[in-house]
Amino acid sequence: MIKFDSVGKRYPGGKEALNGVSFELQAGEMAFLTGHSGAGKSTLLKLIMAMERPTRGQLLINGKNLGRLHRSQVPYYRRNVGVVFQNHQLLFDRSVYANVALPLQVSGFPVRDIGKRVRAVLDGVGLLDKERANPISLSGGEQQRVGIARALVHKPRILLADEPTGNLDPELSAEIMALLRRFNEVGVTMLIATHDIALISQLGLRRLILSQGQLVGDSAIEGGYVYQ
């Protein structure tokens, strides 16, 4: 599903954000990406989103080399990728329903299909009764659930999350992770960047560790932890 093969990313000015990163994530797998601030986690996610391109190496998604993806193909590629942000990035001048419906409207889905999909995913995150509410009236945990619903409403094959529990207390963080796990169990491939080591340690799932742009640990490999 996702394959990094000696991927490097150098920004203008010479900053080396990633250096020789190699790993594979299988379809339906859920893994966590950890490391200190500035280790390269956000850059790695941006490469998968096709917001950035590798400077060297190959990034393959379902066998397609993203480094060779034409700009005109990027919007179609992104229909298979959902993204959850730490700060939700919700529109407070629109209802919960309208926020979740937005990706479908942008993609040109028929109105009759939009209603079915939005209400189904809101039901899945436990917010069907909040569809008419303004997101600003919701708790932080509920706002994050709206963000997850918006990321999943177009049924992506891959879900990326950048610090999805960063602003939540431990109890709400555990609820959000459990929610993501439920969607993973129905086949969505997930890569989640997080600093919450205590929480993810309880889940027993794969952990990839970045340090200064290099992959220094991978729990899928025996003895893979060389950095904590």
> pLDDT digit of tens for each residue in the chain (228 aa)?
999 999 999 999 889 999 999 999 999 999 999 999 999 999 999 999 999 999 999 999 999 999 999 999 998 899 999 999 888 789 999 999 999 999 999 888 998 899 999 999 999 999 999 999 999 999 999 999 999 999 999 999 999 999 998 888 999 999 999 999 999 999 999 999 999 998 899 889 999 999 999 999 999 875 554 443
Indicate the residue among 109, 128, 155 that finishes a domain. 155
The residue type of 125 is: V
Residues 29 and 2 in one domain: yes
Residues 106 and 160 in one domain: no
Question: The pTM is what?
Answer: 0.92
The reported pLDDT for the residue numbered 181 is 94
Host H or E run for residue 140: helix 140-152
Residues 8 and 76 in one domain: yes
Residues 110 and 36 in one domain: no
Q: Identify which of 125, 112, 187 has the alpha carbon closest to the alpha carbon of residue 151.
A: 125
Residue 63, domain member (yes or no): yes
Residue 36, domain member (yes or no): yes
The reported pLDDT for the residue numbered 89 is 86
Cβ(120)–Cβ(65) below 8 Å: no
Query: Looking at the 3D structure of the chain, how many domains does it have?
Result: 2
Residues 102 and 212 in one domain: no
Residues 187 and 212 in one domain: yes
Residues 124 and 199 in one domain: no
* Domain extent at residue 123: 91-155
CATH of the domain at 59: 3.40.50.300
Residue 191, domain member (yes or no): yes
Residues 212 and 224 in one domain: yes
Residues 4 and 57 in one domain: yes
The reported pLDDT for the residue numbered 222 is 54
Indicate the residue among 155, 179, 198 that finishes a domain. 155
Q: In the chain, which ranges are E strands?
A: 2-10, 16-25, 30-35, 56-61, 64-65, 81-85, 158-162, 189-193, 206-211, 214-218
Upper half-sphere CA count for residue 146 (Cβ side, 13 Å): 30
Residues 147 and 168 in one domain: no
The reported pLDDT for the residue numbered 14 is 86
Residue 10, domain member (yes or no): yes
The reported pLDDT for the residue numbered 226 is 45
Indicate the residue among 155, 177, 209 that finishes a domain. 155
Residues 164 and 177 in one domain: yes
